[in-house]
Amino acid sequence: MIELNHTHDVDARSWVDTANVAGSDFPIQNLPYAEFRRIGSPEPFRGGVAIGDQVLDLASLAAGSHVDGLALDAARVAALPALNDFFALGPTAWQALRHAVFALLRSDAPAATVDDLRKCLVPQAHVQYTVPARIGDYTDFYTSIDHALNITRLFNPEGDVTPNFRWIPTAYHGRVSTIGVSGQRFHRPMGQTLAPGAKAPTYHACARLDYELELGVWIGEGNAAGEPIPLERAEEHIFGICLLNDWSARDIQFWEMAPLGPFLAKNFATTISPWIVTMEALAPYRQAWTRPADEPQPLDYLESKANREGGAIDICLEVWLESEKAREGKSGPSRLSRTSFRHQYWSVAQMVAHHTMGGCQLNPGDLFGSGTISGPGKGEAGAIIELTRAGQSPVALANGEQRGFLEDGDAVLLRGWCEKPGHARIGFGESRGTVLPAKG
């Protein structure tokens, strides 16, 4: 795991004033990556780094004279229309560019350098984003025991998770073509459902549309087919993390998941945040990964001293809902829940190690979903089916509306950040998606 270094210094400041504002998602200690271009322009998408309310254009940076050596090589590759080749360079190159950008953006950078670099900044308010990499494969995990128990006990109050849940990070392979970046608008899906007591299913629009609060894990360097990644080296293959909303059609899901996994219930939309927070930026917020003594302990290939000491990451997460009525009335969104990724039953390193144990090849730009993130406390559910007990106890919005499941016009916003005494607060930006009426 990455050791703390000068880029985590809580006292570091940037000459970009908005990076120093309390509560900013993008202080100099963060420096996440995205693919962007100016709104309405024909220019190509290229890599950028967030600093305050600005984007540092890596194409402009690479064309100048302020970086050299490995950092320059990394900047040139990161400036391409997708970050896959940058991911493939590996941790040494990732760190070289991060440290170079950190030095250039510090408040004590030479005045001449600052004057030049101001020309490389683009206001975030003036840009649009795209999915930051070509995603070859998408795997969605199921790794929150609180979520799994909540769902199970909706139907059987005395029920338990399946026996394999406590032994392996379970997952299914999802659909890449409908993964979109924040701002995604999608139509309510159509599908089959079987009503209670009915002998035949009917075809109609989803009536139980849900969100799932997740994180997206971006694979950096890959591995060769047949060569598993050991747990001790798994994080060398992770570039960073974003927010991810795994939209779910619950009524369609419950009918189609016998005997196999999700299909149409999950393949109509997945919304990610544009910014990828690197594993190096997340280093200060690592926590011990624990497993209760009375629960099964991981098999040897999923067990390591480093994972025990720092496999968990304390990422604070919130879900907000903005109805069409609230948007028209400008009353703002309502917060539905708040939790932390530190509660997850399996770590990101264990997900990577288990994914490759059978010989699976991962490639730069592959994306993992963490699985729905729910905590043990009240108000920590990561899906509306949990919050409302499958619609039986609707949640109240700030403007007086209620929701059992999502309605047309609803926008769901995911937000995330890390904070810790003695360290800067860093954020993930936002994942926002909006439900449109069904077609068909």
How do beta strands 179-181 and 270-272 pair?
Answer: parallel
What are the domain boundaries of the chain? 13-130, 138-436
Which residues form the catalytic set? Answer: 147
Q: Which of 34, 9, 8, 30 shows the shortest CA–CA distance to 19? A: 30
Would the CATH topology of 13-130 be identical to that of 138-436? no
**Domain 13-130 class in CATH:** mainly beta
* pLDDT tens, N- to C-terminus, the chain (440 residues): 899 999 999 999 999 999 999 999 999 999 999 999 999 999 999 999 999 999 999 999 999 999 999 999 999 999 999 999 999 999 999 999 999 999 999 999 999 999 999 999 999 999 999 999 999 999 999 999 999 999 999 999 999 999 999 999 999 999 999 999 999 999 999 999 999 999 999 999 999 999 999 999 999 999 999 999 999 999 999 999 999 999 999 999 999 998 898 999 999 999 999 999 999 999 999 999 999 999 999 999 999 999 999 999 999 999 999 999 999 999 999 999 999 999 999 999 999 999 999 999 999 999 999 999 999 999 999 999 999 999 999 999 999 999 999 999 999 999 999 999 999 999 999 999 999 999 97
169's CB contacts (< 8 A; 6+ apart) are 141, 142, 143, 302, 346, 350, 351, 354, 355
| Dist CA 181 CA 270 (whole Å) | 8
> What angle is formed at CA 367 by the lines to CA 366 and CA 368, rounded to 5 degrees?
130
Q: Which of 36, 51, 47 shows the shortest CA–CA distance to 426? A: 51
**Domain 138-436 class in CATH:** alpha beta
| Dist CA 54 CA 49 (whole Å) | 8
| Dist CA 212 CA 312 (whole Å) | 20
Q: Which helix (H) or strand (E) holds 184?
A: strand 184-187
